[in-house]
Structure 1
Amino acid sequence: MAGRVPSVCPASHRGSLPHSAPGPETGPAPLRLQDLAAVRYEDGQHQGLPVVLGTGGFGRVELVRGRGQLFALKRIRKEHVVRRRQQEHVCTEKRVLERSRCPFIVGLFGTFRDSQDVYMLLEFCPGGELWAKLREVRCFEEEVAVFCSACVVEALDYLHGNGIVYRDLKPENLMLDKQGYIKLVDFGFAKELERGEKTYSFCGTPEYLAPEILRHEGHDFAVDFWMMGILIFEMLVGRPPFHSAEPQKIYSKILDGVFSFPAYVSEAACSLVSKLCRLRPGQRLGNTSTGIRGIRKHRWFGSVKWKRLALRQVDAPTLALMKQGPPYANFKHVSEDWPPGEEEFSGWDQDF
């Protein structure tokens, strides 16, 4: 699959940083930045170099060890955040992750700052990005897509119940934990909303943008259900339904709302995606009177035991996609170049 146009937000283009995570406290004394040591490659041409799990517009995610446990340390350049006016996005991510206690959302263990960077210490998800697995196999078997989508339903139910709209659903922002379960990561575009309130930011990933975002008419929780429809299509087909090398062409296709399914996609999957990707938010499954229950009850999810899934008692079919080996086996090598950053003392990061 070709790479996609990166996520966009009002003042910048923004790439994804993978994360990882379980949540609550790890012991009597919180971990400190100086307690963390870089994990290094054990063999091959990169032997001895620190493991970088991913890079993005503002920084990178490094594999670290502290008190015998592995973590993903997200390091964000403060000067880049200020230059692109993304302070509120970074602070929202920290706030949302601190509040979240959900097995389908990456956990946050602590935050730190120094003169150049802010840091988020996240649960390490050794299965890597769902995006990478999708590229390896081109498209998922229906059983895998159902399982991944069901995990996303659980995460969205939790977020929406806590007044948070996610706004950047895509395979790059879904990580696989050691049991093969999906965890949502990267909450830079999340928004805290009251019921009935709308927000007007233009942000997200072009292929996944809901029509109401493109029309600048205000959007709410319904955008996450649109994006879920796009995600299911991409998992089953290997590409999103609206795609082009040029964002403007993607936007035109989204506003037209016309797309077709390959013949091998099941009738149940076509039905669900069509109901999630309705142009009018009020008619979208998940955003009607039945709420997210309407999604759970759709026949495409007929095999899902929702209570067992919530308790993580279901055998994950995604395990078959995961490579065995060192902890970084499911991550491609990323360049370790990390030039010194400029110091930044404006104080926007005082809560880190």
Structure 2
Amino acid sequence: MEKQVQDLKHQLEKQCLINQELQRQNKDLEQRLREKDRLLQELHSQYHDLECPSLSSSEGEPEFRKSRAAVFAPEPIHEAVEISRNKVKKTVSETSLIVKAIQKNDFLSRLDDEQIAMMVDLLKASQCKPGEEVISEGSEGDSMYIVAGGELIVTQAGRDLRTLTKGDVFGELAILYNCKRTATVRAKTLVHLWCMERQTYRTIITNKSKKKREQLMGFLKTSHTLKDLNDMQLSKIIDSMEEVKFQDQEVIVREGTEGNTFYIILKGEVLVTKNVNGHQKMIRRMGKGEHFGEQALIREILRTATCTADGPVTCFSIDKEVFEETIPVEHLELFDDSKVMQEAQAPEKSSLSSSLKFKDLVPVFYQEGRHQGDPVTLGVGGFGRVQLMTTITHGKYYAMKRVSKKQIVAKRQEEHMLFEKKILKAIQCDFIVKLYAAFKDTRYIYMVMEFCGGGEIWTKLKEVGRFDETVTVFCTACVVEAFAYLHKKSIMYRDLKPENLMLDMRGYIKLVDFGFAKELMRGEKTYSFVGTPEYMAPEIIKNQGHDFAVDFWSLGILIFELLVGSPPFSSSEPHKIYTKILDGVLKYPPYMSEASKSIISKLCRPRPGQRLGNTKNGIKDIRHHRWFSNMNWHKLRMGQLDAPTVRLIRKGPSYINFDQFPQDHTKADEELSGWDRDF
């Protein structure tokens, strides 16, 4: 008996040693997993701007988007770049080479003749010796290049991809925004290049767009029919106009035919003739800035003369139907904007809670899983992370956004950060996340916001693949209400996507992240290159100047992505996304309803002035579209509807509806410049 007890004792001791060893191995494994998570997170934050939606697997059945969308923060434009001083003379053959290179490039071929001419003037010459690197993979770029002579090798991760020779263009994405180079380009022989920096390119395009707009505004003000319209209304007309070209001797309007189009001459001359006893009698010759056909916009008339192009002619035109959508003809004026402006400037009760103290906030910890015991992180972005907090008394949950001040300064986002706080502080809308308090220290700024326990729409979409129409209609209606509120306050949002839509526990949608929002007076334009590639409106890509219409474009893209699981314009290469957006061809899967296709196509019209929501009735036109026929807008605003999104929300710990993230043990450097003294 004693021997058996002794044997049992030895076995227990042996088992204890085995258990201890297993525990040690488990701890070691957990440590390695944490390290792996940390490295993955670092890689994710370094390369989040390279992640793109997957391409369609087959016609009509797009794959679901698996990665978060990249974003591009607005970069200041230096207005006073001396263009004329930087001109570089080129020979006829050099000019020809550059023009051909631009014309065969997917993106640059969209530039007009004047913009191409300015690019030709401002491209600078440079030379590289054999073996010298022009572009290094992973580095940040600000220049594009055209090969004038010689050969270069393109490599990625050490593998040869292709050879560049005379007339090839490379690095062109860098003239749009500050992007990481995806490949290395090295000179194989002695190489001659033409190059241009982003700031020069953006100045060319922006200045050209501004001058053209000012010019068109001046032309419109000389019209008798439009003379009583204000700048905001004239700006809307410009947004709805299309550029049209006519060949020599082509008849633009013919006497006696029904008139429905108004023309402004941008380039060339037009002959005006009238039929007198069977012969065409010349009445006058019109040139740049003059216009004809204005009466056709406001009454049913027949053309009283024939207008013919004398040489090549470029006009800006608007049809009666489009004009009537833009300006109510019976009054020739839009709504009284002064009331909106007064409301926008009226002081509001602040949503910031003065009683909430930073020292009272404590983190919530994961209760299970491999991150058990770590503080809960609700989301991680390029600028920081959002943590789940509660108070010492555990009265309420909060989402606290923590952002590195050093990174804000490095990315020149100080103004946007201050503006985000200003907007959220003033907002009182049930469809926009509330800001309760804001704090700062030497390393971070902190924004304590309403916690939306249902999680991100992006996460839910990823889980189910795509939403049914009922859920999509409800989500979109909540966004429409948020936009109506913001636009009335003269604020455009500019970063709509599933990642920025949160669900509260009732299933109602709230808009978050106002880092790209901007205040804009009606009739004004802004020229930043900003947003998420798949959601960018054509006018942002073209640097033509944009306004509130970009939000309506992104609303159309959002509806498509929620219904399909992937946005309509996607590619693994950003420049291909931009090309698809500018081409504007929407391919709908067979299961999509006619009403869905209708609202998407009307929101995603290439001309901003023709978009649903941006014509004379404003956002009402969106609410009245048949896709929303079952939506009770009043009950939605009052929070009285049962949200169909509730079925997407899981029950469990407070963080159950969020992806889990490892703890961040790094500490940001101190930043003491004082930009945040008023934060």
Task: Judge same fold: TM > 0.5, yes or no.
Answer: yes
Aligned to 1:17: none
Aligned to 2:534: 207
SS for the counterpart of 1:76 is strand
Aligned to 1:19: none
Aligned to 1:42: 367
Aligned to 1:70: 397
Aligned to 2:612: 285
Q: Tell me if structure 2 keeps the 8 A contact 1:166–1:187.
A: yes
Alignment partner of 1:167 is 2:494:
yes
**Cα distance in 1, alignment partners of residues 644 and 668 from structure 2:** 42
Alignment partner of 1:126 is 2:126:
no
The one-letter amino acid paired with 2:356 is L
The one of 476, 480, 485 equivalent to 1:158 is: 485
More displaced stretch, 336-345 vs 210-219: 336-345
Aligned to 1:9: 73
**Which is bigger in relative contact order (C-alpha 8 A, separation at least 6)?**
1
Alignment partner of 1:257 is 2:584:
yes
**Cα distance in 2, alignment partners of residues 316 and 350 from structure 1:** 42
**Cα distance in 2, alignment partners of residues 44 and 349 from structure 1:** 38
More displaced stretch, 35-44 vs 209-218: 35-44
Aligned to 1:55: 380
**Cα distance in 1, alignment partners of residues 508 and 405 from structure 2:** 32
SS for the counterpart of 1:9 is coil
Q: Tell me if structure 1 keeps the 8 A contact 2:351–2:427.
A: no
1:48 is displaced (CA, Å) by 1.4
1:25 is displaced (CA, Å) by 5.2
SS for the counterpart of 1:133 is helix
Q: Tell me if structure 2 keeps the 8 A contact 1:6–1:13.
A: no
The one-letter amino acid paired with 1:298 is H
The one-letter amino acid paired with 2:70 is P
The one-letter amino acid paired with 2:73 is C
Gaps of 5+ in 1: 15-22
1:49 is displaced (CA, Å) by 1.0
The one-letter amino acid paired with 2:594 is E
**Cα distance in 1, alignment partners of residues 355 and 439 from structure 2:** 11
**Cα distance in 2, alignment partners of residues 10 and 275 from structure 1:** 27
Alignment partner of 1:311 is 2:620:
no
More displaced stretch, 1-10 vs 95-104: 1-10
Alignment partner of 1:233 is 2:297:
no
1:284/1:310 Cα in 2 relative to 1: closer, same or farther (>3 Å)? same
1:52-96 CA-partner distances (Å, limit 9, x unpaired):
001111110000002411000000000001111111111111111
Q: Tell me if structure 1 keeps the 8 A contact 2:466–2:563.
A: yes
Q: Tell me if structure 2 keeps the 8 A contact 1:81–1:87.
A: yes
1:117 is displaced (CA, Å) by 0.2
1:45 is displaced (CA, Å) by 2.5
More displaced stretch, 284-293 vs 29-38: 29-38
Q: Tell me if structure 2 keeps the 8 A contact 1:5–1:245.
A: no
Percent identity of paired positions between Structure 1 and Structure 2: 58
**Cα distance in 2, alignment partners of residues 60 and 279 from structure 1:** 35
Aligned to 2:137: none
The TM-score normalised by the length of structure 1 is: 0.95
The TM-score normalised by the length of structure 2 is: 0.50
1:341 is displaced (CA, Å) by 1.1
1:264/1:154 Cα in 2 relative to 1: closer, same or farther (>3 Å)? same
1:4 is displaced (CA, Å) by 4.4
More displaced stretch, 111-120 vs 65-74: 65-74
The one-letter amino acid paired with 1:9 is A
**Cα distance in 1, alignment partners of residues 645 and 437 from structure 2:** 29
More strand by proportion, 1 or 2?
A: 2
Gaps of 5+ in 2: 1-64, 76-177, 181-349
1:5/1:13 Cα in 2 relative to 1: closer, same or farther (>3 Å)? farther
1:44 is displaced (CA, Å) by 2.7
Indicate the RMSD between aligned Cα atoms, in angstroms. 1.3
1:99 is displaced (CA, Å) by 1.1
Q: Tell me if structure 1 keeps the 8 A contact 2:454–2:649.
A: yes
**Cα distance in 2, alignment partners of residues 179 and 186 from structure 1:** 21
The one of 509, 515, 540 equivalent to 1:188 is: 515
1:318 is displaced (CA, Å) by 0.5
Q: Tell me if structure 2 keeps the 8 A contact 1:73–1:120.
A: yes
1:37 is displaced (CA, Å) by 0.2
Aligned to 1:351: 678
Q: Tell me if structure 2 keeps the 8 A contact 1:7–1:13.
A: no
Aligned to 2:418: 91
**Cα distance in 2, alignment partners of residues 335 and 245 from structure 1:** 27
Aligned to 2:625: 298
1:13 is displaced (CA, Å) by 6.8
1:160/1:332 Cα in 2 relative to 1: closer, same or farther (>3 Å)? same
**Cα distance in 1, alignment partners of residues 600 and 541 from structure 2:** 20
**Cα distance in 2, alignment partners of residues 260 and 193 from structure 1:** 33
Q: Tell me if structure 1 keeps the 8 A contact 2:351–2:426.
A: no
Alignment partner of 1:221 is 2:548:
yes
More helix by proportion, 1 or 2?
A: 2
Aligned to 2:195: none
The one-letter amino acid paired with 1:96 is I
Alignment partner of 1:341 is 2:668:
yes
Q: Tell me if structure 2 keeps the 8 A contact 1:212–1:218.
A: yes
1:43 is displaced (CA, Å) by 2.2
**Cα distance in 2, alignment partners of residues 5 and 228 from structure 1:** 16
Choose 1 or 2 for highest CA Rg. 2
**Cα distance in 2, alignment partners of residues 5 and 314 from structure 1:** 31
Query: How many residues get paired?
Result: 342
**Cα distance in 2, alignment partners of residues 220 and 45 from structure 1:** 46
The one of 33, 38, 47 equivalent to 2:358 is: 33
